Structure 1
Amino acid sequence: MNGVSSLLLLLILYPSLLYPQAINDTTLKEATLPNCIRYGLEHQPAIRASKIDEDITETTIKDKLADWYPQLNITANYQHYLKMPVTIFPDLTNPNGPKRELQTGVRNYSTPQLALTQTIFNRDVLLATRTARDVRLSARQTTTANKIDVAAAISKAFYDVLLTQEQIQVLEETITRLDRSLKDAFYQYQGGLVDKTDYKRAGISLNNVKAQRKGAQDQLVAKYAYLKMQMGYPAEQLLELSFDTAHMEVEIALDTLQHIRYESRIEYQQLQTQQRLLQANVKYNQWSFIPTLSGFGYYNVVYQSDEFSKLFSHSFPNSYVGVQLAWPLFQGGKRMYNIRQANLQLKRNEVEMTDLKNNISSEYSQALATYKSNLSEFYAQKENLDLANEVYNTLALQYKSGIKTYLDVIVAETELRATQLNYYNSLYTVLSSKIDVEKALGTLSY
């Protein structure tokens, strides 16, 4: 009995044992940038909608191709004459006399029919067959374009959160330095070495930096919310980013000698697919001059009787097969206008491809110039950071020795803080501009 009870308890608790695992599947244990991008590509609503659109496209294609298969239908009807039809016959006993009016048929009819039709040639189903591959490809390319946009948006949002976190860290370190400077200035004031303006200046600077920190902390909450939105991450779930600033510095490198390959851009690939579809549309309209051809076969069972109770007591079946040819000879020039319109749409697509090439070239040139400028700024700020640290440490020691005034220390500390913030700003900016270059080249990894 104990074994049976344990088994029943396990079966009852089994769903609850699995539930925490289901919750964990919606969170990230290690929120590195690649993991955040992978998560976004699985959970972002735009990507999920694109995948659903792919499924819709697939079912639509199968729906169109189903017209190639034989179509089998059953119909049935019942008919009751309230007034019998009249047919006029010649009088066989008196051929030269007046014709006779006779009621014909019976009052009740029922005709079940089994119909089989088979398309032999029809331009609609032929178009569906020839364009199915490109229609599927077009749906996949839309998903790819959305993935690229999502990857770029997540990357920039990720770096923006890191920038704000580093800014807060810089401000925390600044508060620690200013707090220490405030105490030093106060002790020197008590010792009669300086007047009270030194520690009051330190207090003013400390309050300003605390206010900056509070603003950055509020911004961090908003930027985390934006990153979660780009990822499709649950707003109520905790997300802690995992990163290495040193590794981020390595990531800024980019080969600036790469040449543009238009075929690498998803937008160009989409226009190429659209061009093939438009070429198929031209052929589709040209096929309008070709007749449609189909085969058919019908099997009818006719029931007829004047008495409804005896209607189905006897049947009169008939069947036939045949071929139907439909060939519209004149439609007022409509088919010629449709062909012309299809050719103009194809020509317009070619113009769009030329325009896209020009836009890609311009976009790449601007992105590359911005990246090079931001990269130079980053290296300058990195060098300034080392210099600002050295200047501040030197002036802080000289102030304690009574060589420099506290104003010099405040200026050096302000310059150090500004240089630290500028360094992280330039790091984020160069990483963001690198994403723009890779997107312009069509090499952004997702």
Structure 2
Amino acid sequence: MRLLIRIFSLLISVAFLPLELAAQGNQNQTVSADSLTLEQCIAYALQNKPSVQQAYIDEQIADREIKAALAGWLPQLGLDANVQHYLKMPVTIFPNEAGVLVPRQIGTINSSNLSLTANQAIFSNDLFFASRGSRYVRLQSEQEIYNEKISTIVAVSRAFYDVLLSQEQLKILDQDIIRQEKQLKDAKAQYEQGLVDKTDWQRADISLTNVRSTRKRVQEAIKPKYVFLKELIGYPAEKELNITFDPVKMRQSMFTDTLQTLNYTNRIEFQQLQTQKQIQELSVNYYKWSFMPTFSAYFNYNLVYQNNDFQQLYNQSYPNSPIGLRMSVPLFTGTRRLQNLKREQLREKRLDLDIANVKNRISTEYETALATYRSDLYELKTVQHNVEMAEEVYRVIKLQYDEGIKPYLDLILAEAEIRATQLNYYNALYRVLTSKLEVERVTGTINVAAYEQK
């Protein structure tokens, strides 16, 4: 009869299993709607973090500066006007019919000019190198944005893992409190029945109090971590932020290729230095060719008004309109061109040393990151084994304590070992995730586009 009842109960549970799974799925959807995953936090930060937005604004500023510099290739128009009245007429010396030099006043007391000027640059060393350097300046702005995104991904990921670690610590402590409360209740009941010494439930009470104190400390410490995470992603301070994660997916994502070769060009810092190198080479060439003449074409149209009577000044105009070519050659600049050239060449040498130094630093970071990741991954596997062993030891000691074989002190120590190994496991998992992130950073393999598509 009991066997039939158990079979019937099993059939009912199997029948209602799809409904339970659907309910769990709906619950997970509700959590994900109110919570953010790591990918969603990063995507939110890439759109809303002030420093990322500032990088985009800096790119727009650089674009405006480029357009302003290249505007010199377009025709330049100007309009000048003036009105002039002589308080005392100028004097010019002219010879008379006898050849004697006689001072004479020439001109009118009142005059006015209206001049329209048009200039078109044909060749200019400044404009030529501004045109050549514009694409590198734009590339530099794009690299600044990419570098800020990389820094944002790393910072947000670390903060997310830190919050997640504290959350898992709270769960472990909550489970420990439930277990400790049951132990305290059982120990007190056994003491009242005269089965155990009074010190058993007193030790249980002390252990429970310590765990509650630890939980309170972790609970308070998690609040500023949430605030820091909201600051990093640009989340409104007045809104509540919750995070969620998929444990299976997170454990799968903690593995990375440790056999990949180091490629310096993948690092954004190295790319930025290469761009600076190209800009610096243009700067050196600019001063090398700064002796080149400047050619331009001009067209002027002038309206000249002259009259001694101010009221009739604008009754008659005397226009003129020249057109021509202009060349300007810097013959001697007091060695200024030579000094500027030497300065830029020294800056180029200094930049070469920066590139060599960055290569050495990247190599050091690469070896350090790989060594740290390998050791953290090995430690995680070791700690995971310790968790399984601690749970098995606790189960055996609990049975032995219930049978009166083991003292309560052994049970307390077994509980402490479970808590310690579980906390160590999540600490190790946090270190693996962060060290794996560091490996991706130093190898330049962080996929920014994947987060922007979230």
TM-score normalized with structure 2 length: 0.90
Partners of 2:201 and 2:275 lie apart in 1 by 71
Q: Which amino acid aligns with 1:75?
A: D
Q: Does 1:397 align with 2:402?
A: no
Partners of 2:48 and 2:309 lie apart in 1 by 68
Q: CA deviation at 1:101?
A: 2.2
CA deviation vs aligned residue, 1:67-107 (integer Å, no higher than 9, x gap) = 00010110100000111122222222xx14x3322222111
Correspondences of 1:120-139 after superposition (within 5 Å): 120-139=122-141
1:197 aligned partner: 199
1:317 aligned partner: 319
Q: Which amino acid aligns with 2:116?
A: L
Contact 1:28 1:239 in 2 (8 A): no
Correspondences of 1:338-417 after superposition (within 5 Å): 338-417=340-419
Partners of 1:170 and 1:123 lie apart in 2 by 70
Q: CA deviation at 1:321?
A: 1.2
Q: Which amino acid aligns with 1:319?
A: S
Partners of 1:28 and 1:88 lie apart in 2 by 95
Unaligned runs of 5+ in 2: 1-31, 449-454
Query: Which one is further off, 251-260 or 163-172?
Result: 251-260
Q: CA deviation at 1:156?
A: 0.8
- Structure 2 residue corresponding to 1:86, chosen from 84, 88, 91: 91
Query: Which one is further off, 98-107 or 312-321?
Result: 98-107
- Structure 1 residue corresponding to 2:180, chosen from 178, 181, 194: 178
Q: Which amino acid aligns with 1:318?
A: N
CA deviation vs aligned residue, 1:273-298 (integer Å, no higher than 9, x gap) = 11110111111001111111111111
Partners of 2:33 and 2:291 lie apart in 1 by 60
- Percent identity over the alignment is 47
- Structure 1 residue corresponding to 2:438, chosen from 436, 439, 446: 436
Partners of 2:247 and 2:222 lie apart in 1 by 18
Query: Which one is further off, 274-283 or 346-355?
Result: 346-355
- Structure 2 residue corresponding to 1:422, chosen from 421, 424, 428: 424
CA deviation vs aligned residue, 1:381-405 (integer Å, no higher than 9, x gap) = 1111111111111111111111111
Q: Which amino acid aligns with 2:347?
A: Q
Report the aligned-residue RMSD. Answer: 1.2
Query: Which one is further off, 98-107 or 360-369?
Result: 98-107
Partners of 2:407 and 2:204 lie apart in 1 by 12
CA deviation vs aligned residue, 1:106-136 (integer Å, no higher than 9, x gap) = 1111100000111111111111100110100
Q: CA deviation at 1:346?
A: 1.4
2:216 aligned partner: 214
Partners of 1:305 and 1:28 lie apart in 2 by 84
2:451 aligned partner: none
Q: CA deviation at 1:445?
A: 2.3
Partners of 2:280 and 2:214 lie apart in 1 by 57
CA deviation vs aligned residue, 1:294-332 (integer Å, no higher than 9, x gap) = 111111000011111101000000010122211122223
Partners of 1:115 and 1:201 lie apart in 2 by 98
Q: Which amino acid aligns with 2:437?
A: I
Q: Does 1:63 align with 2:68?
A: yes
1:42 aligned partner: 47
Q: CA deviation at 1:28?
A: 7.4
Partners of 1:206 and 1:81 lie apart in 2 by 103
Partners of 2:210 and 2:320 lie apart in 1 by 99
Q: CA deviation at 1:29?
A: 4.1
- Structure 1 residue corresponding to 2:277, chosen from 275, 278, 289: 275
| 3-state DSSP of counterpart to 1:390 | helix
Aligned residues: 417
Contact 1:302 1:317 in 2 (8 A): yes
Q: Which amino acid aligns with 2:85?
A: H
Partners of 1:214 and 1:179 lie apart in 2 by 16
